[in-house]
Amino acid sequence: MTNEKLYCYTGRLLRINLTSKGFSIEKTRRDFVEKYIGGRGLGIRYLLEEVSPKIDPLSPDNKIIISTGPLTGTIAPLSGRYPIITKSPLTNTVCDSYSGSYFGVRMKYSGYDLLIVEGRADKPTYIEITEKGVEFHDAKNLWGLGTLETSRRIKEELGDENASVLAIGPAGENLIRFASVVDSGLWVHGRGGAGAVFGSKNLKALVVRNIKGDVRLYDPDKFRETVVELTRNRVKTSENLWAQTDGTPLIVDISHNAGVLPTYGFMSGSFEYHDKINTDRVKEATAKKYACPYCPLACKRILKFDSRLIKSPEYETLAMLGSNTGLRNLKDVAEVAEVATDLGMDTISLGATIGFTIHLYEKRMISEKDLNGLKPSWNDVEFLIELSEMIAYRRGFGNLLAEGTR
C-alpha cells in the first residue's frame, strides 16, 4: 500500500523548532494514518512516539501537536473540529483539547496534516504558518495582552481580518495549569492546560491564513452524494433540531431536572435559579448565530446586552461559572466567561476552583486576609472577576489556586 496515493491527507507534516527558529516539512507517517483514523488518534500516536511520559509538561521537552483527520477540509458535516495534543501540566497525562474553529481546515489547506511545535523560544514569539513553511514574529509587544486584543492586533499587523489566530492570555504566560488557547476570540481549547504549554515555550500565538484549498478524494462525486444523504437523513433531522434552535444551553434544564446540574460547588444537583441562565434566556439575548466549519446546525450564539455583544456561554460554562458559583443572571455569567476567555483560562476548571474556594472560606479554612481582603460569596460577580484575575496573575492565594483543584 505504500505506493498508493494517500487520499484525504496531504501527506505532509510541519515541524517547528522554537529554540533554533527553524522548521522542516516531513512526510506524514503512512503507517500511523492507516492505523489511527482521525486527528485525535494520529496526534496522540505522534505524542507517544516523540514525548517521554517522564518529562515535565512545562519543559522544552514537551511538544504541541495540532492534527487533522481525513475529513478535515472536506464538506462532510460536523468535520471541522480538531485537537491540540500535548502532555497536560494539569493532569500529567495526555491532553487532547478540541475546538471547532477554522484553524484546522486552513492548516490542511496550507498543505499540512499535522503541526508539531518543539523547543522553547528565547523571547515572546508568534508563528505564522504558510504553504512554504513558517515565519517567526516578535511578540514582545503582545506579551501581557488578553487573547481578544492579541487576536485583533495580529490580524491588524498582518492585514488579514480572516486569519485564524490561536492565542494565549496572561494565564498561559504565567503558566496557570488550566490555561486555555483561544482561537480568534470565538472558539476555545479549554481542557488540560495547553495554554500553559504555549506559555512555557514563549509562544504567544499560532496563525494560519490560507482560506482556499482542496482535499484529494478517491471518488468526489460519490463523496458529495453521500454527504447530501448524510446531512438530510442523519444530521438535519427532527432529533437534532435542538442543536439549531437551542444549542448546548438546553442541557441546563435537562441537568437540573435530572438532579445533576453542578450547583454551589457541587454541593447540589439542582439550582433554584436555573431558569435565569437556561436556553430561554439565551434565546432572548441572541443577536446572531454562527457555526463551526461545515456544520449545518449553527449552534453557536452571540448575545447582546444593551449595546454590548458577548459570545454566548455553552452548557459547561453556564453550569460551572453559573449555577456552580451561584450566579443568577445570564448577563453575569457571560461577562465572567468573557473575562476568563480573555485572560486565557478554562471556564470549567475555573468554575470548579472558585466553588472550591468559597467552600474553603465557609469552612473557615481560609480567611479574607488570605485573599487580599476579598470576601468569597455565592452570586458575586465582582468576587468572581477579581479572583479570576488573582489566579491568572498568580497574585497572593491565586498562586496556589493556579495549580488547579482535584
Nearest to 326 by CA among 276, 367, 285, 255: 276
Please indicate, yes or no, if residue 130 is contained in any of the structural domains.
yes
C-alpha torsion 193→198→202→205, nearest 10: -130
Q: Are strands 12-17 and 114-118 parallel, antiparallel or unpaired?
A: parallel
Q: How many structural domains compose the chain?
A: 2
| Cβ neighbours around 60 below 10 Å, total | 16
Residues 275 and 343 reside in one and the same domain: yes
Please indicate, yes or no, if residue 107 is contained in any of the structural domains.
yes
Residues 193 and 240 reside in one and the same domain: no
C-alpha torsion 339→342→344→348, nearest 10: 40
405: confidence class by pLDDT, cuts 50, 70, 90: confident
Q: For the residues 335-357, what does the mean pLDDT come to?
A: 97
Please indicate, yes or no, if residue 346 is contained in any of the structural domains.
yes
What does the pLDDT look like over 103-158, one tens digit per residue? 999 999 999 999 999 999 999 999 999 888 899 999 999 999 999 999 999 999 99
Q: Is the pLDDT of residue 32 over 70?
A: yes
The pLDDT of residue 5 is: 75
Q: Residue 318 maps to which CATH number?
A: 1.10.569.10
Residue 350 phi, psi (nearest 5): -65, -45
Which of 188, 208, 228 is the last residue before a domain boundary?
A: 208
The pLDDT of residue 211 is: 72
Residues 178 and 288 reside in one and the same domain: no
Residues 313 and 183 reside in one and the same domain: no
Residues 168 and 250 reside in one and the same domain: no
- This prediction's pTM: 0.95
What is d(CA 312, CA 186) in angstroms, rounded to the nearest whole number?
9
Q: Is the pLDDT of residue 210 over 80?
A: no
Please indicate, yes or no, if residue 264 is contained in any of the structural domains.
yes
What does the pLDDT look like over 41-50, one tens digit per residue? 999 999 999 9
DSSP 234: I
Q: Is the pLDDT of residue 374 over 80?
A: yes
| Helices vs strands, H then E, count in the chain | 15, 15
Average pLDDT value for the chain: 95
The pLDDT of residue 1 is: 43
Q: Is the pLDDT of residue 187 over 50?
A: yes
Please indicate, yes or no, if residue 226 is contained in any of the structural domains.
no
Nearest to 208 by CA among 313, 305, 93, 129: 129
Placement of cell 453521500 in the chain? 226
Instruction: Note whether 106 and 211 are within 8 A (CB).
Output: yes
The pLDDT of residue 333 is: 98
The H or E element spanning position 15 is strand 12-17
Question: How would you class 236 by CB atoms within 10 Å of its CB: exposed for 0-12, middle for 13-18, buried for 19 or more?
Answer: middle
Domain of 253, in residue numbers? 236-401
The pLDDT of residue 243 is: 87
Residues 189 and 248 reside in one and the same domain: no
The pLDDT of residue 4 is: 67
Which of 191, 208, 225 is the last residue before a domain boundary?
A: 208
What is d(CA 265, CA 343) in angstroms, rounded to the nearest whole number?
22
How far is the CA of 347 from the CAs of 108, 125, 129, 136, 210, in angstroms?
29, 26, 28, 30, 30
Q: For the residues 169-183, what does the mean pLDDT come to?
A: 98
Residues 249 and 317 reside in one and the same domain: yes
Please indicate, yes or no, if residue 225 is contained in any of the structural domains.
no
Instruction: Note whether 177 and 185 are within 8 A (CB).
Output: no
What does the pLDDT look like over 239-277, one tens digit per residue? 888 988 999 999 999 999 999 999 999 999 999 999 999
Residues 176 and 242 reside in one and the same domain: no
Residues 265 and 391 reside in one and the same domain: yes
The pLDDT of residue 124 is: 98
Question: How would you class 396 by CB atoms within 10 Å of its CB: exposed for 0-12, middle for 13-18, buried for 19 or more?
Answer: middle
Please indicate, yes or no, if residue 3 is contained in any of the structural domains.
no
Percent over 70 (pLDDT), the chain: 99
Q: Residue 98 maps to which CATH number?
A: 3.60.9.10
Q: Record the cell numbers describing residue 315, joined without a space.
A: 452548557
Residues 152 and 296 reside in one and the same domain: no
What is d(CA 78, CA 375) in angstroms, rounded to the nearest whole number?
44
Residues 187 and 258 reside in one and the same domain: no
Residue 40 phi, psi (nearest 5): -65, -50
| DSSP string over 298-310 | --EEEEEETTEEE
What is d(CA 322, CA 105) in angstroms, rounded to the nearest whole number?
33
Please indicate, yes or no, if residue 310 is contained in any of the structural domains.
yes
Residues 330 and 388 reside in one and the same domain: yes
- For the ranges 232-246, 351-365, 371-385, which has the lowest average pLDDT? 232-246
What does the pLDDT look like over 285-301, one tens digit per residue? 999 999 998 888 888 99
DSSP 303: E
What is d(CA 35, CA 31) in angstroms, rounded to the nearest whole number?
6
